[in-house]
């Protein structure tokens, strides 16, 4: 968003961390997201045409599509360079702590500095004090991520979900190999609280060092950490006067899969054009700004929220039904589910429906009914 806006107006990006500490997540998108942004092609790490989903009992399903793993550092640096080339700036080590709205401008306070602008775009994610203070999102819970970039000892196919450790509150391993012979490896769990538990870290260390996965990884004491907390909630306010919530702060991500970058890459140019129009027209009230960012359909948004509710309470044994359900769906439906494009029509496709009935799979019923009737 900032890079696109900087082509037309001056922007200042405030980041509380130093640059070396910013790239602590990794992103997988559809090929469609790359095709829509050919100028970022050099920021791609690798392409994959399959991903494994594995239950605790080792039953599995392999999706076969077109998936793109991004080089987070390269993409971040490309955007920083583009912003600077356009005469704008990215300032690290600045912690935003308050703001003041006046009739014709907004002031943002970070460290000992004051920044004055037409608009403040909040991209602070789960830690946004604006989101929490304005009660803009009714939080359902959080996805917690803990992991490392680790050197591979032998080849492994991408793993989107693996419930390695049987549990009443399971966590899920992700492994995405990189072209340099390493892999992004993270363990993910959902929780009601924003604080990451020590159990997640301990389980991760056990899996990569002691389980059957240990044979794939070299033991590196200085492995790059991969950390994250992704908020999941129901949006009540998408903007305030002269403040726009964007990215994870604006719940741009599908709640069930958290494929946020895919949504942003497909929508940021349109969002930036809408923001520029609001600035030009002087229509920067909360209601005007709320309509600037393209978002999922209401059905897809609610279905993913209800899917998150379902996943948050599943035990490992119940989770096997999700793997079984995936065997019943065609590839297009699977990709639409992963990247947040799920629609009512997916549930009435004859071939999918016939397979689901034959398998007597009811995994989808509760989130669908809650989406339609609650």
- The residues that bridge with 265 in the sheet, in sequence order, are none
Does the domain formed by 2-289 have CATH 1.10.3720.10? Answer: no
- Residues belonging to the chain: 374
Task: Give the pairing type, strands 113-117 and 106-110.
Answer: antiparallel
Residue 339 has pLDDT above 70, yes or no: yes
**What is the pLDDT averaged over residues 111-116?**
97
End-to-end CA distance of the chain: 34
Element (H, E) at 328: none
Higher pLDDT among residues 365 and 374, named by residue: 365
Position 222 scores a pLDDT of 67
d(CA 212, CA 231): 31
> C-alpha angle 258/238/141, rounded to 5°?
40
Position 374 scores a pLDDT of 74
What are the tens digits of pLDDT across the range 261-304?
Answer: 999 999 999 999 999 999 999 999 999 999 999 989 999 999 99
What are the tens digits of pLDDT across the range 176-229?
Answer: 999 999 999 999 999 888 877 789 999 999 999 999 999 999 976 667 789 888
Q: Are 337 and 306 in contact (CB under 8 A)?
A: no
d(CA 72, CA 69): 9
Position 184 scores a pLDDT of 95
Q: Are 74 and 42 in contact (CB under 8 A)?
A: yes
Locate the domains of the chain by residue range. 2-289, 298-373
Task: Considering only CA atoms, give the Rg of the chain.
Answer: 21
């Amino acid at each position: 968003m900032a890079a696109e806006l900087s082509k037309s107006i001056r922007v200042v990006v405030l980041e509380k961390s130093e640059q070396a500490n910013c790239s602590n997540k990794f992103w997988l998108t559809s090929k469609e997201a790359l095709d829509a942004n050919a100028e970022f092609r050099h920021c791609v790490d690798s392409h994959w045409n399959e991903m494994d989903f594995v239950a605790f009992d080792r039953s599995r399903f392999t999706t076969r599509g077109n998936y793109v793993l991004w080089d987070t550092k390269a993409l971040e640096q490309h955007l920083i360079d583009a912003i600077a080339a356009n005469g704008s700036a990215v300032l690290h080590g600045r912690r935003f702590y308050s703001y003041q709205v006046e009739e014709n401008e907004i002031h943002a306070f970070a460290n000992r500095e004051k920044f004055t602008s037409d608009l403040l775009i909040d991209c602070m994610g789960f830690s946004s004090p604006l989101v929490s203070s304005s009660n803009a999102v009714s939080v359902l819970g959080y996805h917690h991520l803990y992991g490392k970039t680790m050197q591979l000892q032998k080849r492994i196919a991408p793993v989107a979900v693996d419930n390695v450790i049987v549990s009443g509150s399971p966590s899920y391993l992700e492994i995405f190999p990189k072209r340099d012979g390493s892999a992004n490896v993270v363990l993910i769990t959902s929780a009601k609280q924003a604080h990451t538990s020590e159990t997640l870290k301990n389980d991760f260390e056990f899996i990569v060092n002691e389980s059957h996965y240990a044979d794939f990884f070299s033991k590196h004491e200085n492995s790059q950490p991969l950390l994250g907390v992704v908020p999941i909630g129901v949006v009540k306010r998408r903007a305030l006067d002269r403040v726009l919530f964007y990215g994870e702060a604006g719940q741009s991500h599908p709640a069930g899969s958290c494929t946020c970058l895919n949504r942003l890459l497909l929508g940021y140019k349109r969002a930036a054009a809408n923001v520029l129009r609001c600035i030009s027209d002087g229509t920067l009230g909360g209601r005007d700004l709320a309509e600037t960012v393209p978002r999922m359909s209401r059905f897809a948004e609610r279905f993913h929220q209800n899917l998150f509710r379902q996943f948050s309470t599943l035990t490992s044994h119940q989770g096997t039904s999700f793997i079984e359900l995936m065997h019943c769906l065609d590839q297009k439906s699977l990709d639409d589910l992963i990247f947040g494009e799920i629609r009512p029509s997916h549930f009435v496709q004859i071939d999918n429906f016939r397979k689901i009935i034959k398998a007597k799979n009811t995994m989808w019923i509760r989130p669908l009914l809650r989406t339609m009737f609650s």
